[in-house]
Structure 1
Amino acid sequence: MEIRSDDGARVRIRPIGYQPGVDPPDDPDRATPGWHDWLLIEVDARTADGQTWSHHYPSLMVEEARALGGWLSGQAKAAVGPSPAPASVRFTEPNLALRTRVIRRRRLELTVEFSAESLPPWMRRPATAIYPLTLTVSADALAAAAEQWAGHCEAYPPRAPSRFPARGPLPGPLR
């Protein structure tokens, strides 16, 4: 999906495969447990002043990726109604997080927070570093991005029950 801000900033995020080094099985009945828990996510970002960076890293679990589409869609719908409260979503891996704040009817401020391996290369990398990329977008643009994201996620089937625990808990209810 691609989201462009009024000020020229933008972010492109898309799943590009399952976790590296773990190939999808030819026979799903004999799949190695956990092979499809993590998606390799490609990110390409540009700030309003033209600085760019990109990376790819297994940042989202399949379930988290699918839930993100619904969260984005819900945020776009909320921006059409009376002033909803700011909302955020975080994931098991801390690389990406998103926050929204309605700035006026049908206009949102979407902040994509990058951390850990997702930080821009010009930043120092202490464990607590976060780089916020704030985008001002219309509710319609966010809804279109949510649809685009859902389309990307269709290529990755939902996780089957695994005999191994996930790296951490799935995010609570997306708000």
Structure 2
Amino acid sequence: MEIRSDDGARVRIRPVGYQPGIDPPDDPERAAPGWQDWLFIEVDARTADGQTWSHHYPSLLVEEARALGSWLHGQATAASGPTPPPAMVRFTEPNLVLRTRAIRRRRLELTVEFSAESLPPWMRRPATAVYPLILTVSADALAAAADQWAGHCEAYPPRTRSRFPADGPLRRHRRAG
């Protein structure tokens, strides 16, 4: 998926395969502890002032990747209503965090926070470093990106039974606006 900001910043994120070197277990019931359905994620980002970086890293579980599309759709839909509260989504691997806040009706500020292996190469890398890429987008553009993301994820079905509760794999946080 690609999300472009009004100011020229953009982020492209797509799954490119299951984590290399990790084969699914023959019998998921007897899988070794710690084996997961990790997806190798390709990220290409550009700041508003033209700095770019990219990386490939197993950043999302298959179920997290699939649920991300629903979360993005939910944020786009919420932007159509009266001032939704800011929202955030985190994943098992902390490389990416996404946050939204409504700017005005049908306009959102989407912040993609990069950390650890996902940081831009020009940043120092202390364990707590975070680089926020802020994108101003329309609800329609976010919904289109969510559709694009869902299409990418169709190529990667879960190879194991879910380890998440029925309410999904994402850790969602809402704050009062």
- TM tier, shorter chain? 0.7 to 0.9
Aligned to 1:172: 171
CA contact (8 A) 2:6 2:137 kept: yes
Q: Give 1:88's aligned residue.
A: 88
Deviations 1:56-94 (A, max 9, x none): 000000110011000000000000011000000000101
Which structure 2 residues correspond to residues 107-122 of structure 1 after superposition, within 5 A?
A: 107-122=107-122
- Between the aligned partners of 2:148 and 2:99, the Cα distance in structure 1 is 19
Q: Which amino acid aligns with 1:84?
A: P
Count residues in correspondence. Answer: 168
Opposite residue 45 of structure 1, the aligned amino acid is A
Moved more, 133-142 or 33-42: 33-42
Deviates more, 1:32-41 or 1:42-51: 32-41
Verify the 8 A CA contact 1:19 1:35 in the aligned structure 2: no
TM-score by length of 2: 0.87
CA–CA distance in 1 between the matches of 2:145 and 2:72?
8
How far did 1:172 drift? 3.3
State how 1:2-21 maps to structure 2 within 5 Å. 2-21=2-21
Structure 1 unpaired stretches of 5+: none
Cα distance, 1:23 vs structure 2 = 4.6
CA RMSD of aligned residues (A): 2.3
- Superposition map of 1:13-52 within 5 A: 13-23=13-23, 33=31, 37-52=37-52
What CA distance in whole angstroms lies between the structure 1 residues aligned with 2:85 and 2:13?
A: 25
Residue identity opposite 2:11 in structure 1: V
CA distance in 2, matches of 1:36, 1:66: 15
Q: Give, in angstroms, the shift of residue 103 of structure 1.
A: 0.1
Give the % identical residues: 82
Deviations 1:25-70 (A, max 9, x none): 8xxx667847761000000000000000000000000110011000
The gaps in structure 2 that reach 5 residues or longer are none
